[in-house]
Amino acid sequence: MTLLSIICVLVIEQFKALPAARIQTLLAAYATLLERQFNGGEQRHGMTAWMVGVALPALLVLALSVVLDYLHPVLGFLLDVAVLYLVMGFRQFSHFFTDIQMVLRMGEIERARQLLAEWRGQGAERLGSAEIARLAIEQGIVSSHRHVFAPLLWFIVLGPAGALLYRLSFDVAQYWPAMAEPQVENDRFGKFARQAFQVLDWVPARLTAVTFAIVGDFEDAIYCWRTQASQWADAASGILLSSGAGALGVRLGLPLPEVVGVEARPELGVGEDADVEHLQSAIGLVWRALVLCLLLLALLTMASWVGT
DSSP element (H, E) containing 273 = strand 272-273
CA 255 vs. chain centroid, Å, equals 23
pLDDT in tens, 139-180: 999 999 999 999 999 999 999 999 999 999 999 998 887 544
pLDDT of amino acid 155: 96
CA atoms within 13 A on the CB side of 56: 8
What DSSP designation does 185 have?
G
Can you give the pTM of this predicted structure?
A: 0.91
> Whole-angstrom Cα distance, residue 248 to residue 72?
45
- Of 183, 165, 99, nearest to 133 (Cα)? 99
| More reliable by pLDDT, 18 or 289 | 289
- In whole angstroms, give the CA distance from residue 252 to residue 241: 8
More confident residue, 308 or 64: 64
pLDDT band at 294 (very low <50, low <70, confident <90, very high): very high
Going 18 to 21 to 24 to 26, the CA torsion angle's sign is negative
Range of the domain at 100: 2-307
Q: In this predicted model, what pLDDT tens digit does every residue of 113-131 receive, in sequence order?
A: 888 888 887 777 788 888 8
Would you say residue 62 has pLDDT above 60?
yes
Amino acid 308: pLDDT: 60
Number of domains in the chain: 1
Taking alpha carbons only, the member of 122, 137, 134, 144 closest to residue 263 is 122
pLDDT bracket for residue 182 (50, 70, 90): very low
Question: Quick check: 64 pLDDT over 70?
Answer: yes
Residues 6 or more apart whose Cβ sits within 8 Å of residue 147: 88, 89, 90, 92, 93
